Amino acid sequence: MKRLIPLVCLALSATIATPALAAYPEKPIEVIVAFGPGGGTDVAARSIARFMEAKLGNGARVAVINKPGAGGEIGWTTLAQAKPDGYTIGMINPPAFVALAVEGKAKYTMDSFKPIGNIVLDPGILVVNKDSPYKTLKDLMDAAKASPGAIVVGTSGAAGSSEHIGLLTLNNTAGVTFTPAFFGATAPARQALLGGHVPAATMNLSEALTLARSGDIRVLGVMSEERSPYLPDAPTFAENGYDLIVTASRGLAAPAGVPDDIVAKLESALKAAMEDPEYVKTAQQAEIPLAYMDSASYTALINKIYAGLTATWKVMPWR
């Protein structure tokens, strides 16, 4: 009879574990967004939340909580320090959230998170006001070369954001000197550009589509390999002779230590939500550039970004 005891224990543990997972989630899940309402990250989070509710089952509720400030550091630190029970997850934004860790000043490291999956890959753009004298990227580049440091370019992120690093890379590779102005969010950067307070700005493509189509701003260059189907008339930097590819990711992560079965359930719900025809239609209408990656692939991308930024920081620190 003694030989049966381990088998009985295993059977009991299996029956206990299965209902526990099946019951998740038993209370609302909070999704932390490290930026204010209305930006690309907030839109992506809110659009996926209700579809994940349906895929998680068990009457799941997913609430988006905005915790803006310090270029995203406040929200990402809150996520890193949250109880690892699966009821607090958050949107992460490589390379910006990676850059803070590379600098060594953040209260988190890459080991503080467990990636769930990627939702969006959104290329950076360089834009000017409709009344700008710079009609093309060449016009702006020529002006920057003629007056090093004189042209201020607003960024929707903080120092170390994808747009800022893209600007530094452009300075380095093209032999120009643009001076960055950090606005910390998309809305104030757009207002500064529209009000003529800065002659140019960088942001993500999805955050500028409405203004570009209305003619209020002019897109001089898209930082991607190919033109975007959302704005096919906008040229790439590559077309102008500059090898500049800068893409911002928006995905979901949990605090490190969340049980693997819960992460797997969240990953499965995210995948199912992104394959839902209604969500795909909603995302297309909102012009969200979807690019799903599972947990393993997203982790590999983040590790690659971390390695690249670490190397960049050693030779071209952004602060």
Parse the chain into domains and list their residue ranges. 16-121+249-315, 123-247
123-247 and 16-121+249-315 share a CATH fold:
yes
Split at pLDDT 50, 70, 90, the class of 247 is: confident
- pTM attached to this predicted model: 0.77
Does residue 215 register a pLDDT over 70?
A: yes
CA dist 181 and 277 (Å) reads 40
**Averaged pLDDT, 213-222:** 96
DSSP-assigned letters across all residues of 140-174: HHHHHHHSTTTSEEEESS-TTSHHHHHHHHHHHHH
Q: Which residues pair with 66 in a beta bridge?
A: 33
Q: What is the mean pLDDT of the chain?
A: 90
Does residue 51 register a pLDDT over 90?
A: yes
Report the percentage of the chain scoring pLDDT > 70.
93
pLDDT digits (tens, 9 = 90+) for 197-212: 999 999 989 889 999 9
Q: What is the pLDDT of residue 22?
A: 61
Split at pLDDT 50, 70, 90, the class of 254 is: very high
CATH 3.40.190.150: does it fit domain 16-121+249-315?
A: yes
- Give helix 260-275 / helix 277-285 axis angle, nearest 10°: 70
**Averaged pLDDT, 147-167:** 88
Coil, helix or strand at residue 284: helix
Q: What is the pLDDT of residue 19?
A: 44
CATH of domain 123-247: 3.40.190.10
Does residue 139 register a pLDDT over 90?
A: yes
Q: What is the pLDDT of residue 184?
A: 80
pLDDT digits (tens, 9 = 90+) for 61-110: 999 999 999 889 999 999 999 999 999 999 999 988 999 999 998 999 99
CA dist 286 and 288 (Å) reads 6
Q: What is the pLDDT of residue 15?
A: 43
Q: What is the pLDDT of residue 2?
A: 42
Helix then strand then coil, % of the chain, to nearest 5:
45, 20, 35
CA dist 155 and 284 (Å) reads 26
Are the beta carbons of 225 and 243 closer than 8 angstroms? no
